Amino acid sequence: MHPNRGKLNRNEHPGFTMRKTQAYIEVSVIIILILIYGYATYQRNVVWKDELSLWSDAAGKSPRKARPYNGLMIGLANAGRFAEAVNAGEKALKLDPGFAWAYLNLGGVLGQMGRNEEAIMSLRRAIVLEPDTAEAYHNLGIVYLNAGRYVDAIRASEKAVSLSPSYADAYCNLGTAYIMTNRMREGIGAYKTAIEKNPDFVKAYNNLGIVYMQLGMHQEAVDVLERLLMKHPENNTARENLATARFKLKSYRQGLIEK
């Protein structure tokens, strides 16, 4: 790896280019939630083999009920079958237009597909129906980040953490939104809070290390990334970022680079 490059594994969701370090800040995944509905748990091995077969069976046996289609939407999305998941979500909402969780989940699926405006509309509808749902604001914040609407992302993520103060993922996304609006100190604080809420939060450690590098705080970057690797020595992204941070720290001490 080039010594001036940090790297984050972005997996399914886009990251955000930090121009100075050419590194990626990673956003937390969109949450797709399901409530426990209390379906009977008979010994039916074929039906219960996996989530998708479960909800396909439930929707087939209860075609006029919205909740099985909400579950089917989640199962399809988890299988990467997003277009079919949208169809299932729309079916759930046709059957029950007041089903807030279906709007929330549909917004999550649309967000994963990059259909940001539709996702925003669905998530806003979920919030109208259930205004105290932190997960809806969390998902909305992610969609706003992916759409480049960073001020809106800050508002949504701040609302998520106000509703759920222990919500580490929301703090992490809030940190990214702050960074993207050049509010570096607040971004660092949000990442630190995410780590306090979840001491094993790999994404927050990596993001914090990258921001420290961007700011020329190379020793701080080394420290936080070493802490991460002590917890997760198998994490190759952290290892690569740490190598970059150490290179930058050595070069700075030798007078080869400026902060």
pLDDT above 70 (res 112): yes
- The predicted structure's pLDDT at residue 256: 72
Token pair 């790999």 is found at 202
Residue 36 lies in a domain: no
Sign of dihedral through CA atoms 182, 184, 189, 192? positive
pLDDT above 90 (res 39): no
pLDDT above 60 (res 34): no
What CATH number should be reported for the domain holding residue 198?
1.25.40.10
Residue 253 lies in a domain: yes
DSSP state of 49: S
Sign of dihedral through CA atoms 157, 160, 164, 170? negative
Report pLDDT digits (tens) over 66-104: 999 999 998 888 888 999 999 999 999 999 999 999 999
Residue 62 lies in a domain: no
Q: Which residue has the higher pLDDT, 10 or 117?
A: 117
- pLDDT-wise least confident of 40-44, 57-61, 203-207: 40-44
Average pLDDT over the chain, rounded to whole?
82
Q: Which residue has the higher pLDDT, 111 or 14?
A: 111
- pLDDT-wise least confident of 87-96, 133-142, 245-254: 245-254
Output the pTM of the full model. Answer: 0.80
* Percentage of the chain modeled with pLDDT above 70: 80
**How far from 139 is each of 111, 208, 211, 222, CA to CA, in Å?**
8, 21, 23, 31
Once rounded to an integer, what is the mean pLDDT over residues 245-254? 88
Which tokens in the block code for residue 96?
Answer: 């029950």
pLDDT above 50 (res 31): no
Once rounded to an integer, what is the mean pLDDT over residues 176-204? 95
Residue 254 lies in a domain: yes
Query: Total domain count for the chain?
Result: 1
Residue 212 lies in a domain: yes
- The predicted structure's pLDDT at residue 24: 52
Report pLDDT digits (tens) over 152-161: 999 999 999 9
Q: Which residues pair with 24 in a beta bridge?
A: 17
Residue 190 lies in a domain: yes
Contact in structure between 172 and 205 (CB atoms under 8 Å) = no
pLDDT above 80 (res 5): no
pLDDT above 60 (res 15): no
Q: Which residues pair with 23 in a beta bridge?
A: 18
Once rounded to an integer, what is the mean pLDDT over residues 146-151? 93
Using pLDDT thresholds of 50, 70 and 90, give the confidence band for residue 178: very high
pLDDT above 70 (res 211): yes
Contact in structure between 190 and 198 (CB atoms under 8 Å) = no
pLDDT above 90 (res 232): yes
Domain span at residue 210?
Answer: 1-18+166-259
Residue 113 lies in a domain: no
Residue 152 lies in a domain: no
